[in-house]
Amino acid sequence: MSGYQGKKNIPRITSDRLLIKGAKIVNDDQSFLADIYMEDGVIKQLGDNLIVPGGVKIIEAHGRMVMPGGIDVHTRFQMPDRGMVAADDFYQGTRAALAGGTTMIIDHVVPEPGVDLVAAFKQWREWADGKSCCDYSLHVDITDWNKGTQEEMETLVKDHGVNSFLVYLAYKDVFQLSDSQIYEVFSVIRDLGAIAQVHAENGDIILEEQRRILELGITGPEGHVLSRPEEVEAEAVNRSVTIANQTNCPLYITKVMSKSAADVIALARKKGAVVYGEPISASLGTDGTHYWSKNWAKAAAFVTSPPLSPDPTTPDYLNSLLSCGDLQVTGSAHCTFQTSQRAIGKDDFTLIPEGTNGTEERMSLIWDKCVVTGKMDENQFVAVTSTNAAKIFNLFPRKGRIAVGSDADLVLWDPDVTKIISAKSHNLAVEYNIFEGTEVRGGPVVVISQGKIVLEEGSLHTTEGCGRYISRKPFSDHVYKRIKARSRLTELRGVPRGQYDGPVCEVTVTPKVMSTVTSVKTSPAKQQQQQQQQLTQQPVRNLHQSGFSLSGAQVDDNIPRRNTQRIVAPPGGKANITSLG
């Protein structure tokens, strides 16, 4: 599907040769004036008075900024959920991304538990290859951990260009892995030279809180945020950092939504941890006060996990941390559902499909919140919207850079253009926009993807299925130089000493009786079976060992025991031990 939407008397330019004259080139480290010549989707020349062949389409920049196209590091287009599919597919999603100045997206493959990782990856490739309008790559989520998973991960890294995997600390009994499983996954990821991404929330606490809140009769979208206080996000981030430090694995926290979670990342980085934080369009551009809206459909549109913070000062705080480098990259986590789809949770907030829009609005929101306010300059803007992501995921300098040999993915940016975000004018299939009515300053005037103009004079010229899958090699220098240095430093060595040859006390270890904690998945029959096993596992009296046993009946069993006994005068007199309080 391709088409020209605009004035019919303006011919559509399909030339593969483009020249931008008089551009102020903005990279993450410097800005300078130069002309840019592109051919066959690649930047061929940079400089003044370039000698170029004939038949070249010329764009006059007049000193305006030209920057690398944005990289949206987190999308979930066409996401399946309980038989439904997200409203924005790969065509609609990438088209909207291009309209906002983003020229590459990295989507998440989410295998159903029990489904082969490689098979799920191929399914996502098939969907994206047929519909994507811009270049794309894929993260793969680990939704199950078994013997075959490690081999599948190795295959994805070696044969399919995947260098990032996500694990869930949330969604108990669905996607959630245990700490010991995450330790194993991180160890595998480190050995493969990939990056460990984490959806950070404490799934065990959330499940208990959801039950408690539903029992109180709270069934609306506000129950979603009430059951997921920001402490459960911060705790999970801290736990992820701890496991990543122990395994010496690079860590990447997706969807940083709260102040406390961002603070944990900032503190870990100050201590030298290799950890990156990804706030999203929603957490940078709006807040969670909308969960209490009287309009159910509006409140439900904001449901995502972790939830938006009800503290209205959170977006400004996260923008400040992004500006000073404590948070490094930005995604949209774009995953939209129509109101009719969300309505399956109208009587139970735990059933509302999760996700918000943000791929089209991401770059303008960050410019308005960070650059216009003086928190960051144009070079830092390029870093957080494009270059840092390219470096972390080993796409640099092909992506995230204006240089000879880099891909011709460029944005001519107008810092003064203003726009009011609205569902009436956005390029999405979904009927509600969470940023409705927000005025933003700064936006793209011309967008070039693969060396072709895809946005000009407010009109989109997108071609369905032209997006290429971009393979990513492991062991990104930007990430693994530090990991390798830490690996050399943290090598464990034992103390050389002589063999101990003194006396050794003989002990008899009595097996400990463990009471099994039943999970949600345990059936009543299974519980009964476990109880019988516990009865048969009682310690047996050993007559050779002593003349009495605490495991059998005792003479004084009929005398009632006292639970507590106050010590009036302990041996040695009343010392501090009795007056600690």
Q: Which residues of 111-135 are buried (b: 16+ CB within 10 A; e: fewer)?
A: beeeeebbebbeebeebbeebbbbb
pLDDT (0 to 100) of residue 554: 58
Distance, in Å, from the CA atom of 436 to the CA atom of 236, rounded to the nearest integer, reads 31
| Secondary structure (3-state) at 440 | strand
Amino acid identity for residue 352 in this structure: I
Question: Which of 27, 135, 25, 136 lies closest to 381 in space, CA to CA?
Answer: 27
- List, in order, residues 6 or more apart from 105 with CB less than 8 Å away: 71, 72, 75, 77, 93, 94, 97, 132, 134, 136, 137, 359
The model's pTM: 0.85
Distance, in Å, from the CA atom of 136 to the CA atom of 158, rounded to the nearest integer, reads 18
pLDDT (0 to 100) of residue 552: 54
The 10 Å Cβ neighbour count of residue 89 is 19
Distance, in Å, from the CA atom of 2 to the CA atom of 339, rounded to the nearest integer, reads 28
pLDDT (0 to 100) of residue 565: 52
CA torsion sign, 569 to 573 to 577 to 578? positive
Amino acid identity for residue 222 in this structure: E
**pLDDT 10s per residue in the chain (581 long)?**
333 333 333 334 445 899 999 999 999 999 999 999 999 999 999 999 999 998 899 999 999 999 999 999 999 999 999 999 999 999 999 999 999 999 999 999 999 878 999 999 999 999 999 999 999 999 999 999 998 999 999 999 999 999 999 999 999 999 999 999 999 999 999 999 999 999 999 999 999 999 999 999 999 999 999 999 999 999 999 999 999 999 999 999 999 999 999 999 999 999 999 999 999 999 999 999 999 999 999 999 999 999 999 999 999 999 999 999 999 999 999 999 999 999 999 999 999 999 999 999 999 999 999 999 999 999 999 999 999 999 999 999 999 999 999 999 999 999 999 999 999 999 999 999 999 999 999 999 999 999 999 999 899 999 999 999 999 999 999 999 999 999 888 778 899 999 999 999 999 887 766 554 444 444 444 455 555 555 555 555 554 554 444 555 555 556 655 555 554 555 555 544 444 44
Query: Cis omega (within 30 of 0) on the bond before 511?
Result: no
Enumerate the H helices of 7-106 as residue ranges. 90-99
Residues facing residue 532 across a β-bridge = none
Return the ∠ at Cα 269 (arms to 268 and 274), rounded to 5°. Answer: 100
Q: How far is CA 109 from the centre of its chain?
A: 12
Per-residue tokens: 4: 């020209």
Distance, in Å, from the CA atom of 33 to the CA atom of 47, rounded to the nearest integer, reads 8
> Which residue shows structure tokens 């999405």?
428
End-to-end Cα, the chain, rounded Å = 75
Q: Are strands 251-256 and 195-199 parallel, antiparallel or unpaired?
A: parallel
Per-residue tokens: 186: 């991180």
Distance, in Å, from the CA atom of 34 to the CA atom of 42, rounded to the nearest integer, reads 16
Q: At what angle do helices 259-270 and 230-247 cross, to 10 degrees?
A: 20
Distance, in Å, from the CA atom of 57 to the CA atom of 27, rounded to the nearest integer, reads 23
The 10 Å Cβ neighbour count of residue 246 is 12
Q: Which helix (H) or strand (E) element contains residue 322?
A: helix 314-324
Distance, in Å, from the CA atom of 3 to the CA atom of 461, rounded to the nearest integer, reads 6
pLDDT (0 to 100) of residue 518: 43
Enumerate the H helices of 449-491 as residue ranges. 477-489
Q: How far is CA 335 from the centre of its chain?
A: 13
Question: Which of 318, 414, 421 lies closest to 367 in space, CA to CA?
Answer: 414
Distance, in Å, from the CA atom of 386 to the CA atom of 95, rounded to the nearest integer, reads 18
Residues facing residue 59 across a β-bridge = 20
pLDDT (0 to 100) of residue 10: 35
Residue 414 and residue 66 in contact, taking contact as beta carbons nearer than 8 Å: no
pLDDT (0 to 100) of residue 40: 95
Q: Are strands 84-85 and 65-68 parallel, antiparallel or unpaired?
A: unpaired
